[in-house]
Amino acid sequence: MARIVRDTTVIVSTGPTCMLRNPPLALYIHIPWCVRKCPYCDFNSHAGDGALPEEAYVAALLADLEQDLPLAVGRSLSTLFIGGGTPSLFSAEAIARLLEGIAERIDIADDVEITLEANPGTVDESRFIGFRRAGVNRLSIGIQSFNDAHLARLGRIHDAAAAVRAAQAARSAGFDNFNLDLMFGLPGQGVAEALADVQTAIGLSPSHISFYQLTLEPNTWFHRHPPALPEDEVIWEAQRACQAMLAEHGYAQYEVSAYALDGRRCRHNLNYWRFGDYLGIGAGAHGKITDAERGTIARRWKQRHPKRYLETAGTPECIGEHMVIAPGELPLEFLMNHLRLREGFRLADFSLSTGLAADVLDPGIQACGEAGLLHAADGHIRCTDKGWNFLDNVLEHFMSEHS
């Protein structure tokens, strides 16, 4: 079993039987403030009350990164993702100082993808121009819907017109690589309204669309006060119709909720789904790091509350947990990411990514194959259409008795 510690001690676990490799490395940066907490949001976000502590928070992020650097000696960053919260509340100058400070501390690939999340209610073309000059080369804009009534029910601070303006401003500012977030299964939403949202998004020519179902997550306002959602049959019909429209316009579904034009898949998220490594800095940020030499894979996360994070960043007290993943839990950890992808995975990559012999998967693969949930051929495993729609049922076959 893995042990949990509250410092940076490296713990060696036992169990891997194959050579373990260090995968690509990414950096996630969490900015926790937003204008108003949405009723469906279960992220670590906090409504700001006045001026944000930009200078202090950037300094804290860089101190946090410095403390994590021993985990990534000799490695370079392939992608960066600035999420939240609402990172677009920070000024372009603060983002520039942050990215410059990161580049001074760790090697960054020449073709790095740097994404910043933005809320339509907090941006305009000049702000986007500033972010681009700071080094951001990809945006992810949280639209959710282009219907004013649905936006109001979701507690969004923008209306449909602001959502359209934000996408247009992103392109005018020089961003040819940006994502639009859309939800379906919204309270009171019919199939025609879901299709109208997708049609409007396509008309704005994003390179990527995230299209996912509203779920009522624990510890949210909607979970405590559930709205009336559409019937399952309506949600399913809307999903299938919207997926067909996206495919018709060249947006290929490569992950459960991700659709991209050719060559525009989100590299940062692909790294997550391919069980890659990532450092996580910021309040509540999570990271995953492989140490091939020691044969361990560990997860760690930081203090969640912004005040506590600012007080402790760069010290051992900032680390909420540091946990080495037990070998018996690695198959599920690997599969719950990889099987979200249409491409699936190669058995050889499973061994290189976990240090485990691929035959530990044999019972689950056989059972899922017989149930029509997985397709296996020439050492390559992927979900069937049935398996993709019932992914939880697939993963149940790979849970250890300790999961």
If phi > 0 it is left, if psi is from -120 to 50 it is alpha, else beta; for residue 271 that is alpha
Domain ranges of the chain: 14-271, 328-403
For position 11, what pLDDT does the model report?
A: 35
- What's the whole-number mean pLDDT along residues 269-278? 98
For position 17, what pLDDT does the model report?
A: 61
Q: At 349, is the pLDDT very low, low, confident or very high (cuts 50, 70, 90)? A: very high
Q: Could you read off the pLDDT of 157-177 as tens digits, one per residue?
A: 999 999 999 999 999 999 999
Domain 328-403: which CATH number of 3.40.47.10, 1.10.10.920, 1.20.1270.360, 3.40.50.2300: 1.10.10.920
Q: Could you read off the pLDDT of 114-145 as tens digits, one per residue?
A: 999 999 999 999 999 999 999 999 999 999 99
pTM of the predicted protein model: 0.93
For the domain spanning 14-271, the CATH number is 3.20.20.70
For position 209, what pLDDT does the model report?
A: 98
**Is residue 4 over pLDDT 70?**
no
**Is residue 61 over pLDDT 50?**
yes
* One-letter identity of residue 5: V
For position 268, what pLDDT does the model report?
A: 98
CA distance linking residue 229 with residue 215, whole number of Å: 10
| Structure tokens given for 226 | 């559930």
- Tell me which residue of 120, 191, 200 sits closest to 156, measured CA to CA: 120
- What's the whole-number mean pLDDT along residues 239-252? 98
Q: Could you read off the pLDDT of 175-221 as tens digits, one per residue?
A: 999 999 999 999 999 999 999 999 999 999 999 999 999 999 999 99
CA distance linking residue 260 with residue 387, whole number of Å: 22
CA distance linking residue 62 with residue 80, whole number of Å: 14
- What's the whole-number mean pLDDT along residues 311-321? 97
Q: Are 9 and 259 in contact (CB under 8 A)?
A: no
Kindly give the pairing relationship between strand 258-260 and strand 252-255.
antiparallel
What lies within 8 Å, CB to CB, of 117 at 6+ separation is 82, 83, 84, 85, 86, 87, 88, 139, 140, 141, 142
- What's the whole-number mean pLDDT along residues 307-335? 96
For position 19, what pLDDT does the model report?
A: 80
As beta bridge partners, residue 321 has 301
- What's the whole-number mean pLDDT along residues 340-349? 96
Find the Cα–Cα–Cα–Cα dihedral 84, 86, 92, 97, rounded to 10°: -30
Share the mean pLDDT of the chain: 93
For position 235, what pLDDT does the model report?
A: 97
Residue with tokens 């020089």: 174
Q: What are phi and psi of 172, to 5 degrees?
A: -65, -30
- Tell me which residue of 208, 128, 199 sits closest to 165, measured CA to CA: 128
- What's the whole-number mean pLDDT along residues 294-304? 96
- Are 14-271 and 328-403 equal in CATH topology? no
Q: At 8, is the pLDDT very low, low, confident or very high (cuts 50, 70, 90)? A: very low
For position 401, what pLDDT does the model report?
A: 52
**Is residue 227 over pLDDT 60?**
yes
* One-letter identity of residue 93: E
Positive or negative, the CA dihedral 271, 82, 255, 295 is positive
Higher pLDDT, residue 18 or 321: 321
